[in-house]
Amino acid sequence: MKPRDQLTDLAHLWGARPATDTDWDFAIWSPDRDSLDLMLNGVTHPMTRDADGVFRARLPARAGDSYGYMLDGQPVPDPASRRQAGGVHDLSMLTRPPQAPSPWVGRDWPEAVICEIHIGTFTDAGTFQAAAEKLGDLAAVGINTVEVMPIAQFGGNQGWGYDGVLPNAVHPAYGTPQDFANFVAVAHDLGISVILDVVYNHFGPDGAYIHALTPAFFDHGRSTPWGPAVDFTQDPVRTFFFQNAAMCVNDFGVDGFRFDAVHQLVDPSPEPFFHALTGGLRAMDAGRPLHLIAEDERNLTTDRDAGRIDAQWNDDFHHAVHCLLTGESEGYYRNYAADPMADLTRALAEGQVEQGQPRVGASRGAPSGHLPASAFVNANQTHDQIGNRALGDRLITLAGAEAMRIAHALLLTAPYVPMLFQGEEIGSRTPFPFFCDFTGDLADAVRNGRKAEFADFDGFKGDLPDPLAEATRDMARPYAHPPEDAGEWSRLTARLLGWRATQVMPLVRTGGAQPARVRTTGTSSAVASWGYNGGHLYVAFHFDRLPDTPHLWPDTDARLTVGAPDKPFGFCTWTTPA
């Protein structure tokens, strides 16, 4: 099957869809079963099984009707449900696709400036509609892309979204499918691209009836850190996720995806699942560029080399900055604590730090210096790096505002794709602790697991925020209580991104990128340069202490400064023509 066909000509193996003005088709792949009944509006109907293990039925119905599949005498929701009548344990509800989004031309990937947002805490209301009304504030400071944390329906009301169990159904606490389509439309009207974070490597622990309905969906000889592994070698399994990706592009209008933990998308097939998925997306005629980003802890470059994805999250950059500014050395920071300045200079020069060379801990990765700067999404803070801390504290609370201004300037003016976490553009100190909404034994397991995880973390002996409490979620809203210097930070962000738009990106567009040159000038200072056909971009910075070799900041109009050359914290960026 050609890549184009994989996402545009999908066989109906999953879910409910209109067949005529009065009839709907229902389908589910369940090859381990000999029979299966569908319940529609409280009435049970036998389904017909084909030779491939797909159960089908065509019945008179209309949008808004409830349906589900009979499991041990009880109706359960459709794993491919596009909308629920309530929570993840309730019946599914027939729904038509949202109103088709208006066309827009999209954006070129290298110019992306991303803000990662979580719909439930981005605003006080925690809805798509409220988030849409907030997007103008991001556009005003120069942010042109939002990366939306997962919105697939999960158990309970609140959560990060990585425990989704119904990938095709938007989480109802955030709004309706049409509300999400409207959110995307508002973003496009503001010139903002929308990247959707999707989780295809596992299902959450609460409400995933697919395990019982379709055991063959899973590789029972392998597991992930979050539950049973998906068996991507089977075409119906692939179709389930292809269908989700196509829906998000065609029905909601999203401009691409951030794929969670692709190192767990294990598939020994001649054409692995992730290759087929990205190939299908690349072949779609969406009328706009589709941007594909991976989270991949292996630090490999093969998917970027082959053009399957545009970029990977570059945690190496974050870890180097974090260790340099905090001195922390526990857990995954151990490899970056030995010489964080050397790691930061390597990240500025070559993208990744860990490229297969011997390190303090286990080595990983492959050489990355040949990749363009746009192949790396760099960040000083992300939901992971903030939220996986005991108290969910931001880097600014650990390192201080002066240091963060310099780190902020470095992130936003280097040619790599920068990503902020919601509120970072206003200097938010609001934490982003882990929160969820499970009950019973599962809730107790989460509480106990969090306590065990941080029992000896950096000497932490305090009380953890209760991950099950609504107050823990509420404290994660960065705009509810902005810092006193929010205006100052907004102006700084706008100034930096204005420089990026008028000086950095025009230079990058001239092409002919040359290997970066970076030299340290002290224990926490360096000068870096990137050459292009149109000239050179320079940055010079120092944290907390003056350089051993003084920086000579040029006296030119084509420069931007933060701090001063003779103060403990300083930053300067400038350009020169070819």
- Domain spans, the chain: 3-93, 109-504, 512-577
Rounded average pLDDT over 254-260: 98
For residue 186, what is the DSSP state?
H
Mean pLDDT of 573-577: 96
Q: How confident is the model at residue 198 (pLDDT cuts 50, 70, 90)?
A: very high
pLDDT-above-70 percentage for the chain: 98
> Does the structure show a pLDDT above 70 at 456?
no
- For residues 337 and 353, give the distance between their C-alpha atoms in angstroms, rounded to a whole number: 12
Q: What is the mean pLDDT of residues 66-71?
A: 98
* Mean pLDDT taken over the chain: 95
| Of 193, 191, 214, 187, residue with least CA distance to 203 | 214
Q: Is the pLDDT of residue 5 over 60?
A: no
295 assigned to active site? yes
| Listed residue (491, 501, 492) closest to 562, CA to CA | 492
Over residues 476-500, the mean pLDDT reads 97
Mean of pLDDT values over 550-578:
92
Closest of 549, 514, 512 to residue 529, by C-alpha? 514
Residue 364 pLDDT > 70: yes
What number is the average pLDDT over the span 291-312? 98
Q: What is the pLDDT of residue 460?
A: 61
Q: What's the rounded mean pLDDT across residues 216-231?
A: 93
* One fold for 3-93 and 109-504: no
Tell me the pairing of strands 311-313 and 291-294. parallel
Classify residue 294 as exposed, middle or buried by CB count within 10 Å of its CB (0-12, 13-18, 19+). buried
Region 48-62: what's the mean pLDDT?
A: 97
Q: What is the pLDDT of residue 3?
A: 40
Residues sharing a CB contact under 8 Å with residue 247, sequence separation 6 or more, in sequence order:
82, 97, 168
Q: Decide if 308 contacts 282 (C-beta within 8 A).
A: yes
Instruction: Reply yes or no on whether the pLDDT at 4 is more than 80.
Output: no
Average pLDDT over residues 407-436: 98
Reported as a pLDDT band with limits 50, 70 and 90, residue 1 is: very low
Helical spans, DSSP H, in 203-301: 210-213, 235-247, 273-283
Query: For every residue of 476-511, which 3-state class applies, written as one string?
Result: CCCCCCCCCCHHHHHHHHHHHHHHHHHHHHHHHHCC
Amino acid 461: pLDDT: 62
Residue of 260, 315, 343, 424 marked catalytic: 260
Phi, psi of 151 (to 5 degrees): -115, 0
Average pLDDT for residues 147-151, to the nearest whole number?
98
Given a cut of 90, whether residue 437 has pLDDT beyond it is yes
Q: What is the DSSP string of 83-148?
A: SBSSSTTS-EE--PPPPPPPP-----GGG--EEEE-HHHHSSS-SHHHHHHHHHHHHHHT--EEEE
Q: What percent of the chain has pLDDT over 90?
A: 91
Mean pLDDT (whole number) for 194-204? 97
Helix 315-326 vs helix 340-350: angle between axes, to the nearest 10 degrees? 150
**What's the rounded mean pLDDT across residues 188-197?**
98
> Pick the residue with more confidence: 503 or 461?
503
**Is residue 260 annotated as a catalytic residue, yes or no?**
yes
pTM above 0.85, yes or no: yes
Which CATH architecture does the domain made up of 3-93 adopt?
A: Sandwich (2.60)
Res 31 pLDDT > 60? yes
Find the catalytic residue in 147, 179, 231, 295. 295
Using pLDDT thresholds of 50, 70 and 90, give the confidence band for residue 360: confident
Place of tokens 């286990």: 362
CA angle 95, 96, 97 (to 5 degrees): 120
Mean pLDDT of 512-533: 96
What CATH architecture applies to the domain 109-504? Alpha-Beta Barrel (3.20)
